[in-house]
Amino acid sequence: MAKKEKAAPRPKAIQPRGFRDYFGAEVASRNAMLRAITDVYHQHGFDPLETSAVETVEALGKFLPDVDRPNAGVFAWRDEDECWMALRYDLTAPLARVYAQHRNTLPTPYRRYAVGPVWRNEKPGPGRYRQFYQCDADTVGTASPAADAEICAMLATALEAAGIAKADYVIRINNRKVLNGVMEAAGLLDPADPSAAAEARGVALRTIDKLDRLGTDGVRALLGPGRKDASGAYTEGAGLRADAIDLLMGFVAAGGDSAAATLSTLRDLVGASETGQAGVAELAAIAEALEAAGHGPERMILDPSVVRGLGYYTGAVFEAELTFEILDEKGRPRRFGSVAGGGRYDDLVKRFTGQAVPATGVSIGVDRLLAALDAKAAGATADTGPVIVTVMDRDRMADYFALATTLRRAGIRCEVYLGNPKNFGNQLKYADQRRSKVAIIQGSDEAARGVVQLKDLALGAELAAKIDSNDAWKAQPAQAEVAVAELVPAVQAILAR
């Protein structure tokens, strides 16, 4: 007798580490928020653009801060034609490829916005996922600091449109040219040979970008020999000289009580560096333009500690920080922190064309902003489920679909219950799971009289769990009989309440 083959094991229904699923209410809230933000972009004259989730590794470039991760932080594979491809790690690198590819037909400047998921092959952790959504807006083809100022002003308007109060955010602005000037003064950058000491500069840059997380002492330690964290793990430092460390720490602490004070300190720090002085002048122009547009220093702050971790920034950089407090997983109060960032990347398109093409833009972390709105209870209202047309008679499904069609034509979201209608209580449980506010009931008797029973589920929520029959359902004060001809206004009145 032949030996029976062993059945293959069933796959485990689990997600890959660092990924998550999004359910109805989350998706609805995200879509509502994105509509509010993209409406702001559209009003400012930006056009939508959708690009492929996959780019060639060559087109993406190596700009991520976590270069110690496999594939330099991206999910990559080799195609049949030996070309390496990868999932996009942001929406900016694909834009550079699109502009280089279609520059002869696109207007200059080219203003676009984009929304979609991005993927990074990074170590996941609490609230840190390998797939997340971004919402970007960029201007390609102008070197004017006014373009940077416009992006910052538009970001402020977008945050407020999404539900963030004026008092609950600040936008911090810096310039990488100023940082490069300080690097020159610290002996870490030679304008005649920018490739020299590139690794040390990269470590210093990523270290400064962690100031809000590590604090002054932690950053100073990592700029020097290294740092041991609370768990005892030791991280190798940049190994900079003490005078270079002092200069860099003086730079990140250069923020003054006013834009004028900050600019004065920065001019002194960059000294004779032409690059540094150019960066200070650009910061001054951005601050002036924002002030003229009604965005004052209470929300637009010149902050030298903002450096941004991505390697392609060349000029202005900025971050939007939410200033209200939330409770962390241990119940301790803390600021929510950054939800958006961006800056100027004048050399990204040049990688393809060989010609300088200035560009600037911002990226909103969609998941972060949604979490902030939820924490602040200022986001989109809780998702309301559809009106449920219950099924009392199996042979009258056409009638129930006709009721649903009437409601949909009036712009009311609804559905006919398509589960097993035998147990009416299950239909009520389903309506509860769907967060429905209204249920419609029509048996053969109601149909003969041209009426329906209309149930306000919000009023009857406390009793709904105990009801298992049609008679008990009808006996509730939250239920009323209305003529089919009056169905739409009656449902609209309940939804309005």
Cβ within 8 Å of residue 382, ≥6 positions away: 25, 435
The mean pLDDT of 34-38, rounded to a whole number, is 96
**DSSP codes of every residue in 109-154:** SEEEEEEEEEE-----BTTB-SEEEEEEEEEES---HHHHHHHHHH
Helix (H, G, I), strand (E, B) or coil at 304: coil
Residue 61, by phi and psi: left (phi above 0), alpha (psi -120 to 50) or beta? left
Q: Parallel, antiparallel, or unpaired: how do β-strands 438-441 and 451-456 relate?
A: antiparallel
The tokens describing 450, both together, are 């041209």
Q: Per DSSP, what are the bridge partners of residue 440?
A: 389, 454
Per-residue pLDDT of 230-239, as tens digits, reads 777 787 777 7
Residue 190, SS3? strand
Q: What is the pLDDT of residue 136?
A: 96
Alpha-carbon distance of 153 to 171, in angstroms, equals 9
What pLDDT does residue 379 have?
Answer: 43
Determine the Cα–Cα distance for residues 310 and 206; give it in Å rounded to an integer.
Answer: 9
CA dihedral 137, 138, 139, 140 (to 10 degrees): -150
Give the E-state strand segments of 289-332 in sequence order: 300-302, 316-327
Can you tell me the distance from the alpha carbon of 497 to that of 491, in angstroms, rounded to the nearest whole number? 10
Q: How far apart are the first and last CA of the chain?
A: 72
- Domain shared by 322 and 442, yes or no: no
Distance CA(101)–CA(349), nearest Å, equals 10
Measured distance CA(300)–CA(159) in Å, rounded: 13
- b vs e for 159-186, b when ≥16 Cβ sit within 10 Å of the residue's Cβ? bebbbbeeebbbbbbbbbbbbbbbbbbb
199-208, 374-383, 413-422, 456-465, range with the lowest pLDDT:
374-383
pLDDT at position 235 is 79
Q: Which letter, b or e, does each residue of 314-351 get, where b requires 16 or more Cβ atoms within 10 Å of its Cβ?
A: bbbbbbbbbeeebeeeeeeeeebeebbbbbbbbebbbb
Q: Do 328 and 427 fall into the same domain?
A: no
In the chain, the amino acid numbered 214 is: L
| pLDDT at residue 279 tops 50 | yes
User: What local confidence, expressed as pLDDT, does residue 273 receive?
Assistant: 85
Q: Judge whether 307 lies within some domain.
A: yes
What pLDDT sits at residue 187? 77
**Can you give the pLDDT at residue 380?**
43
Classified as helix, coil or strand, 167 is helix
**Is 168 found in the same domain as 147?**
yes
Residue 429 belongs to domain with CATH number: 3.40.50.800
The answer on 407 and 371 residing in a single domain is no
Position 213 pLDDT exceeds 50: yes
Specify the range with the lowest mean pLDDT, choosing from 69-73, 242-246, 408-412, 445-449. Answer: 69-73
- pLDDT, residue 184, reads 83
Model confidence band, residue 70 (pLDDT cutoffs 50, 70, 90): very low
Mean pLDDT score across all residues of the chain: 86
| Backbone phi, psi, residue 54, to 5° | -110, 135
For residue 10, tell me if it sits in a domain: no
Q: What's the confidence (pLDDT) of residue 281?
A: 94
Measured CA to CA, the distance from residue 425 to residue 390 in angstroms comes to: 11
Domain check: are 439 and 318 in the same one?
Answer: no
Please give the pLDDT value at position 460: 61
Tokens of 147: 């373009």
The DSSP 8-state label assigned to residue 394 in this structure reads G
Phi, psi of 280 (to 5 degrees): -65, -40
Number of domains comprising the chain? 2
Quick check: 427 pLDDT over 70?
yes
Over residues 342-358, mean pLDDT: 91
> Structure tokens of 256?
């003054």
Whether 337 and 428 share a structural domain: no
Query: Domain end: 327, 352, 376, which one?
Result: 376
Q: How far apart are CA 207 and CA 201, in angstroms?
A: 10
Which residue range forms the structural domain that includes residue 363?
24-376
**Are residues 189 and 293 both part of a single domain?**
yes
Q: Are 321 and 364 in contact (CB under 8 A)?
A: no
Question: Does residue 128 sit within a domain?
Answer: yes
Q: What does the alpha-carbon distance between residue 256 and residue 266 come to, in Å, rounded to a whole number? A: 10
What is the C-alpha separation between 58 and 109, in angstroms, rounded? 25
pLDDT number for residue 357: 93
The alpha-carbon radius of gyration of the chain (Å, integer) is 29
pLDDT of 389 strictly over 50: yes
pLDDT of 5 higher than 80: no
| CATH number of the domain that residue 81 is part of | 3.30.930.10
**What pLDDT is recorded for position 198?**
73
Instruction: Specify the range with the lowest mean pLDDT, choosing from 179-193, 249-263, 352-366, 425-439.
Output: 179-193
Is the pLDDT at 131 greater than 50? The verdict is yes
Q: Which pLDDT value is given to residue 117? A: 95
Considering the domain architecture, whether residues 59 and 133 belong to the same structural domain is answered as yes
Range among 359-368, 427-436, 458-467 rated most confident: 359-368
- CA-CA distance, 94 to 111, in Å (whole number)? 14
Looking at residue 478, its pLDDT comes to 77
What is the pLDDT, as a whole number, of residue 496? 84
Report whether pLDDT(89) > 60: yes
> By percentage, how much of the chain surpasses pLDDT 70?
90
Q: Are residues 233 and 300 in the same domain?
A: yes
Whether 245 has a pLDDT exceeding 70, the answer reads yes
pLDDT, tens digit, 9 for 90 and up, residues 438-494: 999 999 999 999 999 999 887 665 555 555 566 655 555 678 899 999 999 999 988
233, with CB counted inside 10 A (0-12, 13-18, 19+), is exposed
User: pLDDT, tens digit, for every residue of 316-348?
Assistant: 999 999 988 776 666 667 778 889 999 999 988
Residues 370 and 453 in one domain: no
Residue 429: CB atoms within 10 Å: 15
In a domain, 3, yes or no: no
pLDDT at position 312:
79
d(CA 471, CA 459): 17
* DSSP per residue, 273-293: -HHHHHHHHHHHHHHHHHHHT
pLDDT value of residue 150? 96
